[in-house]
Amino acid sequence: MKPLRLGTRGSALALWQANTVAALLRREGRDTELVTIRTAGDRIQDRPLSETGGKGLFVKELEDALLSRAIDLAVHSAKDMSVALPPGLGIAAVLPREDSRDALVLRAGETLPASPAVGTGSVRRSAQLAVRMRSARFLPIRGNVDTRVRKLDAGEFDALVLAVAGLKRLGYAARISEAIPHDDCIPAPGQGIVAIETRIEDLADEVWRAINDAAAAAAFDAERAVVEALGGGCQLPLGAVAVPEGGELAMQAIVTTPDGSRRIRRAARGDAARPVELGRRLADELARGGAIEILNSLR
């Protein structure tokens, strides 16, 4: 059997994800060959993601390679994916979720100054944390985790806000000054989840069932259902997270204005076996509170 050609971005985190998937497939007796693909998000480093469209910046070239049969599967950070997949493609499996929270990262041994310069490339993060950190200046930052941490240590910023998952996976757990509770900052839909995408005709392969994590898949589906129902994108100030609790999902979601001055936040619980239903119900509650009006004003 020919090795499965596994498409991935070339960043350290993307390669960690791809190698983790490769190891799981190897456990199931399937060999893989990594194919590194540079995406638009990798090429555009001089502008904030919110100014470059956001949606699909880190996945389009991988999906094009799937459709052209240059690769057999693509590995993504789930939070980078659009909810509307190209015709002919589907989600094969997701891996167990890492900690979904955001993290505050400071220089070793230092505390936040009175008016800190906080680096983040996410409108969602700055909009929510502006309420908690009223004197902070949130400044755009680009680059992978290594690059951002170097900029922090060089004094360009007083703090960073990054995903706990990426920090842990790259060996930076000790740099986490605080894991920010969901009550203070609801993460991006899919944060901490690794998703595997393939062609529709290849979804029947039993190997996907063997490596899929059911709990993460339920959360993934619920969170994406919120985004799909509201018509949001990965660079809009929309957060959603579903946490498994027994046979249920406890879910929170938020839509804010970019400055955090207006916030629509709702919570709901539902059967983990019907995650899309839960996500749509929560989206309806957000919409009734004015979320659509906020999102439409930002498109």
Query: Looking at the annotation, which residues are catalytic?
Result: 80
Q: Which pair of structure tokens corresponds to residue 296? A: 């439409």
DSSP 107: -
How many angstroms separate the first and last alpha carbons of the chain? 47
Count, residues in the chain: 299
DSSP annotation string for 69-104: TS-SEEEEEGGGS-SSPPTTEEEEEEPPP----EEE
Rounded to an integer, what distance in angstroms lies between the CA atom of residue 82 and that of residue 93? 16
DSSP annotation string for 124-182: HHHHHHHHHSTT-EEE---S-HHHHHHHHHTTS-SEEEEEHHHHHHTT-GGGEEEEEPT
Q: Which pair of structure tokens corresponds to residue 37? A: 């693909």
Rounded to an integer, what distance in angstroms lies between the CA atom of residue 166 and that of residue 246? 26
* E strands, 181-285, in order: 194-199, 238-245, 248-256, 263-271
Neighbour order of strands in the sheet with 4-8: 32-36, 4-8, 73-77, 194-199, 89-94
- Please count the other Cβ atoms lying within 10 Å of the Cβ belonging to residue 28: 12
Rounded to an integer, what distance in angstroms lies between the CA atom of residue 288 and that of residue 207? 42
